[in-house]
């Protein structure tokens, strides 16, 4: 039985103080989220090796784990919102987070144990080493292309629109180097007859190289989002300009004190949008689009009582498609960022991202039947995905996990997390070169689900 705010379902509260439960729940969320991300990568490898039908059980286990994790993040968000819970309610909700996260990891572990036997890496070690080396060469080419593309993007767009990928080629290069180091170690272990050690080193190499490729791909994703944003600006400016016309036409029916600030903000958003579009643009198109979306949503809400229902529905349908597509694109980008920086990203960013995904899924489900309600879900998801990105980037900056190696564990400690945030550990000591072991300890690479389960 699980907790529901609308219906207080009793479950036995777990032992320990509430502060201790908070800390354990934060740690469990990160661990379960990492398990789901690692399992997703494992499933991709497995499907390529065995085909879709042979991985049905793993796919179903991953679906179950994701459902447990999504509900856990929803509970975490409820604990952090403006509606206070009593301490017994908090304890039951934290207990459910612990229970669901434990079950998510357990269901994936059962599949992983069965799957490792089938993969038989030890029996195919020479082939695995050769294939991994080929992937490393392909990834090196992708990183070179990403670096060239990033230079082009910096010449076209302001630095503020590229913060999430400004160091992507460098970070991808570090991971690729770590992967190749692990692969060299695997060759040496295999030649020495240490097959089990070689298998683990191959898996470490595969994980590092795969993440390097995904980080390099984030630059291409940034270009696509910026190109779409530039194309969407004209439509967004036209749409909010229509709202401004309506605001002047309907101003006599609405309180001036509430309408005037919204009109001023909408006009400022239009100015920012124009500055970010066209030849010689100097503004940030993504930030301009975000401002336009927020300003139009606020103005639409204020004008809704004075508009006909049909007009409100038509406006909702007109803007829903582009805003939902943009929200899903942002969610995909932040998801990739969290996955490739998971050793540094704490539960606050992950919670905001999960909630943004929940709102986007709800909007997708109801977009054909209730455009206005779907648009409200999109409006709820937009600030959450922006919050997730900002929190994740701050976590990475503060952790020092990418710029420092060796001597301690970079990233986040399970020191406790409540309404004030996640407790960060001390930065690691700087070391020369790349230490594969430190990367694994910091969570920047993982050699599969075993790192999480052990």
This model's pTM is above 0.75: no
pLDDT (tens, 9 = 90+) of the chain, 454 residues, equals: 444 444 444 456 677 889 999 999 999 999 999 999 988 888 887 777 777 777 888 899 999 999 999 999 999 999 988 888 899 999 999 999 999 999 999 999 888 776 666 666 666 888 889 999 999 999 999 999 999 999 999 988 888 889 889 999 999 999 999 999 999 999 999 999 998 889 889 988 988 998 899 999 999 999 998 888 878 898 899 989 989 998 888 888 788 888 899 999 999 999 999 888 866 677 788 889 889 988 998 898 888 888 877 677 777 888 888 889 999 999 999 999 998 888 889 999 999 999 999 999 999 999 988 988 999 999 999 999 999 999 999 998 887 655 544 333 333 332 222 333 333 333 333 334 455 655 554 455 544 555 554 5
Phi, psi (deg, nearest 5) at residue 367: -65, -30
Nearest to 2 by CA among 91, 77, 73, 92: 92
Using CA of residue 413, residue 415, residue 421, residue 424, what is the dihedral sign? negative
424 forms bridges with which residues in the sheet?
412
pLDDT at 439: 56
Burial class (CB in 10 A: 0-12, 13-18, 19+), 19: exposed
Residue position matching structure tokens 């005037």? 260
Residue pair 41/207 in contact by the 8 Å Cβ criterion: yes
pLDDT of residue 307: 81
Which of 109, 51, 34, 2 lies closest to 347, judged by CA? 34
pLDDT score of 42: 81
Which pLDDT value is given to residue 447? 47
Residue 432 is predicted with a pLDDT of 40
pLDDT at 426: 35
Q: Would you say 402 and 396 are in contact if contact means Cβ atoms under 8 Å apart?
A: yes
Give the position of tokens 């201790």.
20
Looking up tokens 């529905």, which residue turns up? 313
Can you tell me the distance from the alpha carbon of 371 to that of 55, in angstroms, rounded to the nearest whole number?
A: 37
Q: Are 372 and 381 in contact (CB under 8 A)?
A: no
| Residue 188: how many other CB atoms lie within 10 Å | 13
């Amino acid at each position: 039985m699980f907790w529901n705010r609308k219906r207080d379902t009793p479950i036995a509260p777990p032992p320990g103080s509430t502060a201790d439960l908070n800390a354990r729940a934060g740690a469990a969320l990160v661990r379960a989220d990492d398990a789901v991300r690692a399992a997703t990568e494992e499933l991709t490898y497995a499907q390529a090796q065995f085909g879709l039908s042979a991985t049905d059980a793993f796919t179903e286990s991953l679906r179950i784990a994701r459902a447990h994790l999504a509900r856990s993040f929803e509970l975490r968000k409820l604990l952090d919102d403006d509606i206070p819970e009593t301490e017994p309610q908090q304890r039951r909700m934290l207990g459910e987070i612990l229970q669901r996260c434990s079950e998510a990891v357990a269901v994936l572990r059962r599949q992983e144990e069965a799957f490792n036997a089938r993969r038989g890496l030890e029996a195919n070690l020479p082939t695995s080493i050769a294939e991994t080396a080929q992937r490393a060469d392909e990834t090196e080419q992708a990183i070179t292309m990403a670096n060239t593309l990033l230079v082009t993007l910096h010449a076209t767009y302001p630095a503020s629109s590229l913060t999430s990928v400004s160091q992507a080629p460098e970070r991808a290069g570090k991971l690729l180097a770590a992967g190749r180091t692990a692969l060299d170690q695997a060759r040496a272990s295999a030649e020495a007859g240490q097959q089990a050690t070689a298998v683990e080193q191959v898996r470490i190499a595969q994980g590092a190289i795969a993440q390097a490729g995904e980080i390099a791909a984030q630059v291409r994703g940034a270009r696509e989002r910026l190109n779409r944003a530039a194309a969407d600006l004209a439509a967004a400016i036209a749409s909010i300009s229509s709202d401004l016309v309506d605001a002047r036409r309907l101003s006599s029916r609405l309180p001036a004190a509430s309408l005037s600030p919204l009109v001023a903000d909408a006009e400022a958003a239009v100015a920012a949008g124009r500055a970010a579009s066209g030849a010689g643009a100097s503004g940030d198109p993504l930030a301009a689009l975000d401002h336009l979306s927020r300003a139009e949503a606020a103005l639409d809400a204020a004008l809704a009582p004075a508009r006909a229902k049909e007009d409100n529905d038509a406006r909702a349908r007109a803007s829903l498609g582009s805003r939902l597509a943009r929200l899903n694109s942002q969610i995909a980008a932040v998801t990739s960022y969290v996955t490739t920086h998971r050793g540094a990203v704490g539960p606050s960013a992950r919670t905001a991202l999960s909630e943004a995904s929940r709102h986007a899924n709800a909007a997708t489900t109801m977009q054909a039947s209730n455009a206005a309600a779907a648009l409200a879900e999109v409006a709820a998801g937009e600030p959450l995905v922006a919050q997730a990105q900002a929190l994740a980037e701050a976590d990475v900056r503060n952790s020092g996990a990418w710029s420092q190696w060796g001597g301690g564990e970079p990233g986040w400690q399970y020191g406790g997390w409540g309404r004030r945030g996640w407790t960060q550990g001390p930065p690691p000591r700087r070391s020369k070169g790349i230490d594969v072991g430190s990367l694994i300890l910091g969570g920047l690479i993982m050699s599969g689900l075993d790192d999480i389960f052990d």
